[in-house]
Structure 1
């Protein structure tokens, strides 16, 4: 009897060890008895009947991620590869369905992702695929939730993590973007050049206006000076004709003197002989005399016809600026 005692103790120890098992955190163990489902055990130390119950399998309750790469064609006939990341989890209360109803959950999810992507992307152009990638992700999640809920799986989130067109398409897209940027740069440069031209034209117009105003002021002052000079000469017994001729001759000689003083001047005064002043003065006096004779004859003719000439009343010249109505007829 003493010989069988160690054997009995050894067998008892083996039976005790085989009846105790440990389930890790975020894991569920499926127990079967003679091939039939018995229970689901959660994390911690668990017991089972030795030689009768067995652990059929363990289910991971953590959130898992599956990356699926799908190659498809867009509406504008561009082949593109999309990387879809699916985050899924086994529902804790549906471990039985997840273990017994679905043989390979990852292949099942992959098949649904292929189906949804290849039905949605061909409806979009390449640019729309980049802009509406969230819509693709939502469509994948919706389809997977409807399909995988019956198998005890919950789809947490789906993400379109990469969109990779054909290499030639990417090169063409880069050329298009570069051309667009060059076009925008050219438009800005043209606008800047236009602003410069407009500003230059405005400056030139303002310069011409001020120049014209200066010339007008200069001529107005010259006219005022000539008028004052004629009045001064009239006061000393020189009539208006002789005074005007004298002023012209004086200006002629003043100009000659100015030309002689400036060695870099390009001005040429013709004629410039010593007799020019005398000839100019005689010509002007002769012109004034002829003008007076014509005026006297017209006056006599008008008086013979009964036409009375209008008298002129000289208004005082305003102190500021030039007045075009300096003489008014009454």
Structure 2
């Protein structure tokens, strides 16, 4: 069996035991390790810092790795972890500017950056940081109403973190983040806020629905207006086309009428018995018109000389004989504005 008679082997085993002991120490625990026997060789873990005192006075800070101490003179007084640490802030009672009592808790992340200051500038850093944060939280929240506290939690976190850093820098500790975790409202206030929020959401929903209906009605009215404009435009185009067609048809009809009158006039001037033929044609049309009007049971047309139809025919035949033979017929197109009427025995032709 191996005996631990060699001083070097005894130092190695003692070092392992010491390392297990210091790994469970509190981050800000300032208690001196007087019970740990002095050793020559010390292994400092990663992200740790050992404060060494020589004859009761600060000597140096051991960095991670192997360190050699002077027997009986050097002693490890403080052990600090350089890792980021979370400190839980218990629930605190605070009062807002509008006199509403709240219950707030939170947490903060800290880290030691100077082991010397963390050992000799403050007795219990964790307790001091916790108390200072609670005091700052009460003071800061008392400056704002409840709505500001609920809506601007991020800005409050930044203000609290800045205040903590202004204090802990001289302790060799930095506050990385400060967070307000929970804000507990009184039951009455919480119920009132819930009802207000419900009413606000209902109002927003109704406003959105009303805006949707209004937009739909506006779109529908715009569609009807557009359809009406298109209909009026179509009617206008149809009327213009119809008027143009009627004008064109009337123009062709008047041209045909003018050509017929010119042909008749030419016939009267050329043929010897042209006037007699015209009189005969007028008599036929007269008799035909009388027969057509007689077909209507509600209309009665009585000629001026109903018993002597032959006289009407004779007058029609004598139309051409009454004009001088040497007269010439002037062919002109009829005027549309002044239409002439010819009366034969009271009948309009």
What does residue 201 of structure 1 align with? 225
Query: For 1:130 and 1:214, how far apart are their aligned partners in 2?
Result: 69
Higher normalized helix content (fraction of residues):
1
Query: For 1:165 and 1:206, how far apart are their aligned partners in 2?
Result: 65
Query: CA RMSD for the aligned pairs?
Result: 4.9
Q: Please, which of 50, 57, 78 is the counterpart of residue 29 of structure 1? A: 50
1:103 aligns with 2:127: no
TM-score relative to the length of structure 1: 0.54
Helix, strand or coil at the partner of 2:122: coil
CA shift for structure 1 position 148: 0.8
1:40 aligns with 2:61: yes
CA shift for structure 1 position 98: 0.8
1:147 aligns with 2:171: no
1:275 aligns with 2:294: no
Distance 1:141 1:192, change over 3 A: same
Q: Please, which of 85, 90, 102 is the counterpart of residue 112 of structure 2? A: 90
Deviation sequence 1:60-81 (CA, Å, 0-9, x none): 1122233446664555666666
Helix, strand or coil at the partner of 1:30: strand
What does residue 176 of structure 1 align with? 200
Q: How many residues align?
A: 248
Query: For 1:76 and 1:221, how far apart are their aligned partners in 2?
Result: 85
Query: For 1:57 and 1:315, how far apart are their aligned partners in 2?
Result: 133
Helix, strand or coil at the partner of 2:140: helix
Helix, strand or coil at the partner of 2:51: strand
CA shift for structure 1 position 11: 8.5
Distance 1:11 1:62, change over 3 A: closer
CA shift for structure 1 position 194: 0.7
What does residue 266 of structure 1 align with? none
What does residue 177 of structure 2 align with? 158
What does residue 115 of structure 1 align with? 135
Deviation sequence 1:179-210 (CA, Å, 0-9, x none): 42542343134213211212212312431453
Query: For 1:164 and 1:316, how far apart are their aligned partners in 2?
Result: 102
Query: For 2:132 and 2:48, how far apart are their aligned partners in 1?
Result: 26
Structure 2 stretches lacking a partner, 5+ long: 15-36, 265-277, 303-332, 339-349
Query: For 2:10 and 2:95, how far apart are their aligned partners in 1?
Result: 61
Query: For 1:47 and 1:53, how far apart are their aligned partners in 2?
Result: 10
CA shift for structure 1 position 134: 4.1
CA shift for structure 1 position 90: 1.5
- Residue pairs, 1:1-330, within 5 angstroms: 9=5, 17=14, 18=37, 19-20=39-40, 21-32=42-53, 37-49=58-70, 53-68=74-89, 72=94, 84-92=106-114, 95-124=115-144, 128-129=148-149, 132-155=152-175, 157-160=176-179, 162=181, 164=183, 166=185, 168=191, 169=193, 172-173=196-197, 176-177=200-201, 179-211=203-235, 214-215=238-239, 218=242, 232=257, 274-276=296-298, 278=299
When Rg is computed on C-alpha atoms for both structures, the one with the higher figure is 2
Distance 1:220 1:91, change over 3 A: closer
Query: For 1:70 and 1:316, how far apart are their aligned partners in 2?
Result: 111
Structure 1 stretches lacking a partner, 5+ long: 1-5, 251-272, 283-313, 318-325
Partners of 2:43 and 2:67 within 8 A in 1:
yes
Query: For 1:75 and 1:316, how far apart are their aligned partners in 2?
Result: 100
CA shift for structure 1 position 99: 1.7
Query: For 1:178 and 1:151, how far apart are their aligned partners in 2?
Result: 53
